[in-house]
Amino acid sequence: MVTRRNFFTGAAAMVGAGFVSRIGAASLPEAATMQGAATQAPLSPPNGRPYNPVVTLNGWSLPWRMNSGVKEFHLVAEPVIRELAPGMKANLWGYNGQSPGPTIEVVEGDRVRIFVTNKLPEHTSIHWHGQRLPNGMDGVTGLTQPGIPPGKTFVYDFVARRPGTFMYHPHADEMVQMAMGMMGFWVTHPKNPDFMKVDRDFVFLLGNYDIEPGSYTPKTATMLNFNLWTINSRVFPGVDPLVVRQNDRVRIRVGNLTMTNHPVHLHGHEFEVTGTDGGWTRPESRWPEVTTDVAVGQMRAIEFDATDPGDWAFHCHKSHHTMNAMGHDVPTMIGVDHRSVAEKINKLVPDYMVMGERGGSMGDMEMPLPDNTLPMMSGQGPFGGVEMGGMFTVVKVRKNQKPGDYRDPGWYQHPAGTVAYEWKGALPQATRKHSAGGQAMPSSQAPKNIEMTVRKPGGHGSHD
């Protein structure tokens, strides 16, 4: 049997690194597969209508073949091993070697034929989320087609009628198959390549998994209590930065296939929502934002001018979504001095650790972790621990980044005098307003009975 690993053909002709071609029956288009989770260079169209390709964060776009004017793609639904971040791999289901599957890029008006081969142990289908197409191509098992049985290949054939941002995912045993990572991005470019042209166009899908620390396979019965929140099935610090040149017009397209909403937040710049599930927004309907909520099943395109150089955080604003597994059942211990208790426990349990007593810099915590488990917040920046995980990455705006160069330029070099610094002068006695009288009084005279030591009820079971 020919395996993907020993069948390297025409790799030099492929765009980008890491493609491996895989040929099934002679009549099927090649099913290219991807070996790793690194962001691949944009796939410039070798034929067909011209367009400005997108960059899939920690992903890639699927090559096609032209067959009598029809763009033919081949997706293979199959089990994959996906590295979520260095130090953790997951047994997922995906397409063509990775989860998410490759991005499919076509042009408005293209006739598209997609061969879908099922190498899963159960039936599947693909729903082309958001598209206008003949009802029988909509991919809903039982409703518009029978499920694709294991080992079989089905064909979807339609015209990409509406330009915009789309997703694909199974409509078969959905809860299991999406919990296992089956999803992909789809972009239908406008016929006119100058319509809403941008300099950089990034795409990614938001995902969620529930992988018990120390294990590799998601729990597929989980409905809300996920413990890993992903950008294209990666978690920070495994998420690549979005690298742009200063003054680039930047578009970021986000699709949400998790079971909850995500308020995505950009630092240092205002953006506008230029696209939704239903297409491009009218210019007079837009307003400036620094955060926009992406609800379940939604796609959003945001755009901004990258005017200010720096390393700008870009993340979901739910703080438990910027945290990896392990951090989800810890009681609040702020203000609780339990050192003496800890000493006693330590005699019995040598690895016992005092957590979070001073607000708990979890990022600095060094604790023994089970195999294949990431620290809940990690990632090192130029000034120390970033204390983030999950849905967090960085938009790197650089003056000298070359057009078309997406390589990580390293950390931002701040001009002298532009970084927050420690005050080293004398500290005058703080003067506080007394709330009742509104009169200033020295802190030495402030009421002494304010409760500064608080212990809240511990633990929170739900992460929806």
Binding site for Cu ion (CB under 5 A): 262, 316, 318, 321
Tokens of 395: 């938009």
Task: Find out whether 441 and 434 touch, Cβ atoms under 8 Å.
Answer: yes
In this structure, the strands spanning 249-256 and 299-305 are antiparallel
Is the backbone of residue 69 left (phi > 0), alpha (psi -120 to 50) or beta?
Answer: left
- Shortest Å, Cβ 299 to Cu ion: 15
Exposed/middle/buried for residue 6 (C-beta within 10 Å: 0-12, 13-18, 19+): exposed
Closer residue to Cu ion, CB minimum distance, 189 or 321: 321
Report, in Å, the least distance between residue 258 CB and Cu ion: 7
Shortest separation between residue 31's beta carbon and Cu ion, angstroms: 33
199 vs 293, which CB is nearer to Cu ion?
A: 293
Q: Work out how close the CB of 262 gets to Cu ion at its nearest, in angstroms, rounded to a whole number.
A: 3
> Would you list the DSSP string of 152-163?
-EEEEEEE--S-
C-alpha to C-alpha distance for 65 and 111, rounded to whole angstroms: 12
**Is 253 or 262 the residue whose CB approaches Cu ion more closely?**
262
Distance CA 373, CA 255 (A): 26
Give yes or no for a contact between 17 and 36, defined as CB atoms under 8 angstroms apart: no
Task: Work out how close the CB of 295 gets to Cu ion at its nearest, in angstroms, rounded to a whole number.
Answer: 11
| CB of 302 or CB of 316, closer to Cu ion | 316
CB-nearer residue toward Cu ion: 245 or 318: 318
Q: How far is the CB of 205 from Cu ion (least distance, A)?
A: 13
Instruction: With CA atoms as reference, report the closest residue to 228 among 183, 179, 261.
Output: 179
Q: What is the CB neighbour count within 10 angstroms for residue 292?
A: 16
DSSP label of 142: T
Q: Which is nearer to Cu ion, 171 or 234 (CB)?
A: 234
